Structure 1
Amino acid sequence: MLQSPAPETANEGPPAPPRAWDGGPIVLVGLMGVGKSTVGRRLSQRLHLPFVDADNEIEAAAGMGIPEIFERFGEPYFRDGERRVIARLIDGTPKVIATGGGAFVQDETRALILSEATAIWLDADPDVLVDRVSRRDTRPLLRGRDPRAVLRELARVRNPLYAQAHIRVLSNRSPHEVTVTAILKAIGR
């Protein structure tokens, strides 16, 4: 027989506030379009932590946008700057950091993230990502190419590396808040 929960008594008071996250930086990794920035902002709000988008920090440090960096200096130059910026951001203080899709693929950057932060892989099917990335033309790796083919190839190459993250959370066609809730559950919040 199912029983209803006991009625709330006057002595119980308000629910306890959520415990502060004390696990150091949380770094979101995954393919472009998976929602690292959007989910990261919402996750940081729920955890009452600062949010930092590594791509924005790279652009500020370089004084130009990522597409321009790629065009003028090439991907290796960009990846080196990305590594340095992420190393600066991972300073031991609790925060949520969204990274670019290729950051975790770089050996040095991945090693740093895995040793100094909690890495969370936001994983999504490439077909879900195609719909998301088609909304903006700001992705250098997709310029003039078939997004579905590029994302499938990137998933083939990168997913085994993303799988090294401490936690894997699926991101599908549901609202980003569902992904945030799944992350909170995975980290015990």
Structure 2
Amino acid sequence: MNCNNYKNIQKLSYNDPIFLIGMMGSGKTTIGKHLAKNLNRKFLDLDHLIELKSGLNIPTIFEIVGEVGFREQESCVLNECLNCKNTIIATGGGIILSEKNRISLMKSGIVVYFKTNINELFKRTYKDNNRPLLSTKDPYITIEKMLKLREPLYLKTADLVIDTSINSIENIINSLLILLYEHKRIK
């Protein structure tokens, strides 16, 4: 990934973690890896950390402990990452369902909401077997319901919002870098 406009800038004025929130399929992991490389930060993916810690993949965790058990594990792993400086952290789409998680995110770093329209979310996720919440009769309706519930929470939690629906990864990164460099950490 070559972000020409910002390739010579190496550091933000803050070292707080940057948390990426948004629906599954919004690009948190894909874009987050590129962003971390551009900012010379470590990239962490909470879902991946949960899998490493438990030794199980996400669908198996859901089968064994259900969504409630998974959310408990997710909160635990988030708490372990709150003080990780100079990181980009991709969260799970449902991390914001817990008020405690929302407060922790807002207090601990910069929170960026990856806003994506429902059609793009569906296109990116409907064939993915690693998304247990979409194992329903009508995944589009499921995404629609989740987005309706979650979007106000994403917006309430986020310091910055970026649309990841249709732009190229490079354009999204360039736009995001502008927002991050202009953002002043005041919390």
After TM superposition, the score normalised by the length of structure 2 is 0.88
Q: Which of 174, 177, 182 matches 1:181?
A: 174
Q: Which of 137, 155, 160 matches 1:167?
A: 160
Change (3 A) 1:92 1:59: closer
Aligned pairs for 1:1-189 within 5 A: 17-21=8-12, 22-164=14-156, 165-188=158-181
Range with bigger deviation, 176-185 or 57-66: 176-185
Displacement of 1:179 in angstroms is: 1.6
Q: In 2, distance between residues paired with 1:113 and 1:135?
A: 30
Give the fraction of aligned pairs with identical amino acids, expressed as a percent: 29
Q: Which runs of 5+ in 2 are unaligned?
A: 1-5, 183-187
Q: In 1, distance between residues paired with 2:7 and 2:168?
A: 27
Greater helix share, structure number: 2
Deviation per residue, 1:89-111 (Å, 9 max, x gap): 12141100001100122111111
- The residue type paired with residue 50 of structure 1 is K
* Residue correspondences, number: 175
2:21 touches 2:113 (CA, 8 Å); kept in 1? yes
After TM superposition, the score normalised by the length of structure 1 is 0.88
Q: Runs of 4+ in structure 1 displaced over 6 angstroms? A: none
Q: In 2, distance between residues paired with 1:135 and 1:75?
A: 20
Q: In 1, distance between residues paired with 2:60 and 2:7?
A: 48
Q: Which runs of 5+ in 1 are unaligned?
A: 1-14
Q: In 2, distance between residues paired with 1:49 and 1:16?
A: 14
Report which of the two structures shows the higher radius of gyration computed on alpha carbons: 1
